[in-house]
Amino acid sequence: MLPHVNTIVVCLWAALGIVWLAGAFAVKPAARRQSLSSRLLQTALGVLGVLIGFTKPFSFGWLRSPFVPSSPGVVYTGLVFVFVGIGFAIWARLSLGGNWSGTITVKENHTLVKKGPYVIVRHPIYSGLFVALLGMAIVFREVRGLIGAGLLLVMFGIRLRMEERFMTEEFGSEYREYKGQVKGLIPFVW
Expressed as residue numbers, the domain containing 37 is 33-181
Give domain status of residue 82, yes or no.
yes
Q: Give the number of other Cβ atoms within 10 Å of residue 44's Cβ.
A: 12
- Is residue 120 helix, strand or coil? coil
Give domain status of residue 117, yes or no.
yes
The number of distinct structural domains making up the chain is 1
Q: What are phi and psi of 141, to 5 degrees?
A: 70, 0
Give domain status of residue 189, yes or no.
no
Please report which confidence band the pLDDT of residue 126 belongs to, taking 50, 70 and 90 as the band edges. very high
Give domain status of residue 18, yes or no.
no
Between CA 36 and CA 189 the distance in angstroms is 32
Give domain status of residue 122, yes or no.
yes
Which of 179, 185, 177, 180 lies closest to 160 in space, CA to CA?
185
Domain CATH number, residue 96 = 1.20.120.1630
> What is the percent of the chain where pLDDT is above 90?
74
Give domain status of residue 137, yes or no.
yes
Q: Which of 24-28, 35-39, 96-100, 172-176 has the highest mean pLDDT?
A: 172-176
The DSSP secondary-structure symbol of 39 reads H
Give domain status of residue 27, yes or no.
no
pLDDT of amino acid 1: 60
Q: Which amino acid is at 111?
A: T
CA dihedral 114, 117, 119, 123 (to 10 degrees): -80
Q: Which pLDDT tens digit goes with each residue over 47-91?
A: 999 999 988 888 889 998 999 998 999 999 999 999 999 999 999
Give domain status of residue 188, yes or no.
no
Task: Decide if 153 contacts 185 (C-beta within 8 A).
Answer: no
Which of 131, 30, 42 lies closest to 80 in space, CA to CA?
131
